[in-house]
């Protein structure tokens, strides 16, 4: 299947990212497809060696690839040392609407003392609370709920049914996907003779510029201090970020990660899907945590960290699990044997 785009020539596409080309500079594309399914007038890219067999036979008119792979490409090409990144930038340019409708829907509810910037669009049934500040070129799509005293920076987009609680600050050029909840109460409770007493959550959520937040991700407000998401952070779907967490700039976190309260994640980190991070921990800059790992103590040095065991056939897993429970006894026996030598 080919995804339609605006029409563009090889020369135009290369100019978007300042890349060199091979082939007819005037050849045009009007769609995007995979190497295997592409047809004439489609753009495709090659970045994963697993799909090498499709490169030589692709019918795409233009392929984005590394210069080392040009000899195997039958089409015109855009040359890049990082073809996937080049594709991302070109696809963004190809699919971005040339003009966007700017309006405030008649069913939108806008309270008193709200500041709305130029060229901002507010969709059907959006609610904007008192004292909120909405920047220029912002898009609030249908059903978004913006509470009192919220700030949303220029060029940000909130997809349908995003909920922003009071006193949240969102930076410029942010993308927040449907169902995200930002600024809800953190899980602050105190036990009194078996009865849980709710602790007021008085902090805020501060989100920097160029942050993307996935669908149904939740970010809790701070208990006293603020929950802070720094510039350039990318959050996947279904992530839970608890109160007083701080995530450093340009960190990327995959889906279903849970981060407990008052933990700090460094800059330029990558956290794989399903990982769990306990509370009050410190994660250094440039740390990569692989999928489904459980982080129980602070990480003070950059590097790749993992926990858990890979998938195995169930019978073998049970055998290994039994042996795992015997490790302490085995270690003690080994220690005694070593002392006798």
pLDDT at 99: 56
* pLDDT tens profile 83-125: 999 999 999 999 987 656 789 999 999 999 999 999 999 999 9
| Total tally of structural domains belonging to the chain | 3
171 and 297 both lie in a single domain: yes
pTM assigned to the model: 0.89
Query: Is 143 inside any structural domain?
Result: no
**In this structure, what CATH number is given to the domain that contains residue 213?**
2.160.10.10
Least confident window among 7-11, 28-32, 73-77, 321-325: 321-325
Cα–Cα dist 199/188, whole Å: 5
**In this structure, what CATH number is given to the domain that contains residue 24?**
3.40.1390.10
Region 230-244: mean pLDDT is 98
Band of the pLDDT at 337, cuts 50, 70, 90? confident
Angle formed by the axes of helices 83-95 and 10-17, nearest 10°: 110
Residue ending a domain, among 95, 119, 151, is 95
86 and 170 both lie in a single domain: no
Q: Which domain holds residue 319?
A: 314-341
Torsion of CA 283, 286, 290, 292, to 10 degrees: 30
pLDDT at 19: 97
Cα–Cα dist 318/320, whole Å: 5
Region 129-158: mean pLDDT is 98
169 and 301 both lie in a single domain: yes
In which residue are the tokens 């945590």 written?
289
Between 209 and 332, name the one with better pLDDT. 209
| 316 has a pLDDT exceeding 90 | yes
Handedness of CA 71, 77, 80, 86 (dihedral sign): negative
Query: Is 70 inside any structural domain?
Result: yes
Cα–Cα dist 156/287, whole Å: 28
Query: Is 337 inside any structural domain?
Result: yes
* pLDDT tens profile 66-80: 999 999 999 999 999
169 and 263 both lie in a single domain: yes
**Contact between 88 and 73 (Cβ < 8 Å):** no
By annotation, the residues acting in catalysis are: 243
Give the DSSP H/E element, type plus range, for residue 282.
Answer: strand 282-283
**Contacts of residue 338, Cβ cutoff 8 Å, sequence gap at least 6:** none
**Contact between 29 and 43 (Cβ < 8 Å):** yes
188 and 300 both lie in a single domain: yes
Cα–Cα dist 309/168, whole Å: 40
* φ, ψ dihedrals at 64, nearest 5°: -90, 125
């Amino acid at each position: 299947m080919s995804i339609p785009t605006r029409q563009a020539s090889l020369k135009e596409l290369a100019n978007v990212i300042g890349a060199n080309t091979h082939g007819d500079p005037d050849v045009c594309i009007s769609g995007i497809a995979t190497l295997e399914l592409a047809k004439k007038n489609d753009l495709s890219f090659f970045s994963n060696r697993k799909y090498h067999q499709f490169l030589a036979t692709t019918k795409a008119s233009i392929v984005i690839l590394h210069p080392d792979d040009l000899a195997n490409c039958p089409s015109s090409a855009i040359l890049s040392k990082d073809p996937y990144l080049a594709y991302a930038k070109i696809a963004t340019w190809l699919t971005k609407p040339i003009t966007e409708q700017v309006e405030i829907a008649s069913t939108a509810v806008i309270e008193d003392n709200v500041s709305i910037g130029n060229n901002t669009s507010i969709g059907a049934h959006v609610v904007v609370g008192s004292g909120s500040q909405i920047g220029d070129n912002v898009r609030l799509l249908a059903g978004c709920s913006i509470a009192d005293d919220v700030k949303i920076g220029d060029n940000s987009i909130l997809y349908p049914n995003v909920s922003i609680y009071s006193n949240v600050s969102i930076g410029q050029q942010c993308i927040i996907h449907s169902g995200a909840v930002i600024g809800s109460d953190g899980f602050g409770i105190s036990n009194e003779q078996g009865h849980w007493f709710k602790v007021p959550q008085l902090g805020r959520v501060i989100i920097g510029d160029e942050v993307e937040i996935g669908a149904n991700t939740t970010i809790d407000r701070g208990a006293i201090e603020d929950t802070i998401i720094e510039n350039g952070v990318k959050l996947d779907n279904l992530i839970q970020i608890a109160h007083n967490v701080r995530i450093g700039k340009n960190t990327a976190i995959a889906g279903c990660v849970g981060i407990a309260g008052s933990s700090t994640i460094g800059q330029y980190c990558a956290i794989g899907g399903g990982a769990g991070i306990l509370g009050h921990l410190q994660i250094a800059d440039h740390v990569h945590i692989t999928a489904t790992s459980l982080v129980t103590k602070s990480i003070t040095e950059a590097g790749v960290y993992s926990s858990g065991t890979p998938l195995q056939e169930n019978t073998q897993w049970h055998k290994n699990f039994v042996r795992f429970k015997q490790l302490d006894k085995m270690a003690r026996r080994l220690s005694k044997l070593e002392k006798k030598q």
